[in-house]
Structure 1
């Protein structure tokens, strides 16, 4: 029996000392209790030491995998619980702080809307100036052409300034078009955001009253 146990220890050298001692002690007691003294009797009962060791190592590997999976599941569950607690805390803080931050956000939104509206008015004034420049340039150009032979020097000067005014005005038209579109979208988005905040505030106040 001692020979069998020694060979089993040799084949189980890959185990840590604790698992090795537990396995060897278990099978040693098993053989003693069963009265298996001879090497041949031990092999007949448990199989060769190498085969038994392979089975023990395989069982130990499965147990290790189960432990690793259980540890991973526990860690994932803890992380999920932590994330849920964080979300709940953020929601609670948002509800408690709503009387403070919501009016501030509405105030900032009103400022942004006013600033955007001022830019819109500025662009509208620029558009009027551009179209006035186009109109004045065309009128001046027509007048200069019709008086080209009677007031040549003055007509040439007016034609030059008229063409310059027309060119600058035409160059500004695409810029104004894009600016009007962008500001229109900004005003729309800000208006929608302010209305949503006001609706949320109204629902919150109604819920508190109920």
Structure 2
């Protein structure tokens, strides 16, 4: 059992040393109290690497949740690491590989759809702003030869430019909201993988 937990700890290098030490100490005590054999531990938790992946996933899910609750800025690297751990968790068990492939394809399809939608919205906003500026400059270019044309083009340009500026905050808000919803779906999948208990201790999985 000790060799198993030592192997698990060797795969917890991404966690703070104190955190990984506490987790190993907790499970060492838990395994002793439960009188589990090495075979039973492997049957329930998998290989040391698989178990370590679940522990890391549970830890980073908790960290992300706490950061969101406290409205702290979360580095993109941490978010990418969390997504990567979820993907590894999906492929950790040979029995889950077919399901993992299906889920991964679904996630990729949703991600592509999300990026396409956001790209379209940003292109629309940029087109409105620059189209408005172009129309305004074009109208001013004929101010002496055709004042009426200047009024039409300038008015249209100001309208398009103002509309582009007006919807910019909405697009930024929608971007953040959609990204958070997408990440929420990924985190929900991660929680299903770890099957965390209702204990308050971080990283505890059964």
Check whether TM > 0.5. Answer: no
TM-score (norm 2): 0.39
TM-score (norm. length: structure 1): 0.39
Q: Write 1 or 2 for the structure with the bigger share of helix.
A: 1
- Structure scoring higher RCO (CA < 8 A, sep ≥ 6) equals 2
